[in-house]
Amino acid sequence: MDTATLYDFIKWAKTTDLQELICKRGAVTVEFRSAETAFNSYTSKLTKVLAPAIGIYKSKSNKEKAKLEEGMTLKKGQFLGVVQSHKKTVNILAPKAGILKSISIKEDTAVEYNQPLFFID
């Protein structure tokens, strides 16, 4: 790129909310990141499944039982277990279909509201 073109490009870039621009020559990659995606890129791209309540995590309710293994394929809405509060029991369901990348909760352990329990890719 010659300097005049680069100058024009920088001038244009200043009018956008671009924070990052990645160019690769081999097999041609062009990646743009705006303010929002640049921030998000620091966190995981995986979908977090958060605890819907404070309580104890259990992989089964009186109706269903979740057999979970890292690497397995999940359907959207698949049963992942429950959080048992004092008297209420809240189901945990997969928010999307995908690969269960990580299980970060053990059976019968306490979870806080909004604590990440699973990660789905």
Partner 1 sequence: MKEKKYTKILVANRGEIALRVIRTLKEMDIKTVAVYSEEDKLSAHVLAADEALCIGPAPSKESYLNIDAIIAAAKITKAEAIHPGYGFLSENADFAKEVIAAGIDFIGPSAEAISTLGQKAQARAIAVKAGVPVVKGSSGVVKDNFLLEAKKIGFPLMIKASLGGGGRGMRIAQTEDTFETALETAKAEAKIAFNNDDVYFEQLLISPRHIEVQFAADNYGNVIAFAERDCSMQRKNQKLIEESPSPFVTPEIRKKLIAAAVAMVKQAEYSGVGTVEFLMDENKNFYFMEVNTRLQVEHPVTEAVCGGIDLVKIQIEIAQNKPLTLTQAEAQKITCHAMEFRINAEDYEQNFLPNSGLVSYFHTPDGLGVRVDSAVYSGYEIPSFYDSLIAKLIISAPNREQVLKRAQRALDEFRIKGLKSTLDFHKLILQNKKFQEGKINTALVEEILNEGKK
The nearest distance, CB 7 to partner 1, in angstroms, is 39
**Closest to 58 in 3D by CA, of 119, 93, 106:** 106
Question: Residue 4 gets which letter from DSSP?
Answer: H
Q: Is residue 20 within 8 Å of residue 38, measured between CB atoms?
A: yes
The nearest distance, CB 40 to partner 1, in angstroms, is 19
Q: Is residue 117 within 8 Å of residue 101, measured between CB atoms?
A: no
The interface with partner 1 within residues 55-114 (CB under 8 A) comprises 55-56, 85-88, 110, 112-114
> According to CB under 8 A, which one of 54, 93, 99, 103 is a site residue for partner 1?
54
The nearest distance, CB 52 to partner 1, in angstroms, is 10
19 contacts partner 1 (rule: CB under 8 A): no
Q: Which two tokens stand for residue 17?
A: 């909310």
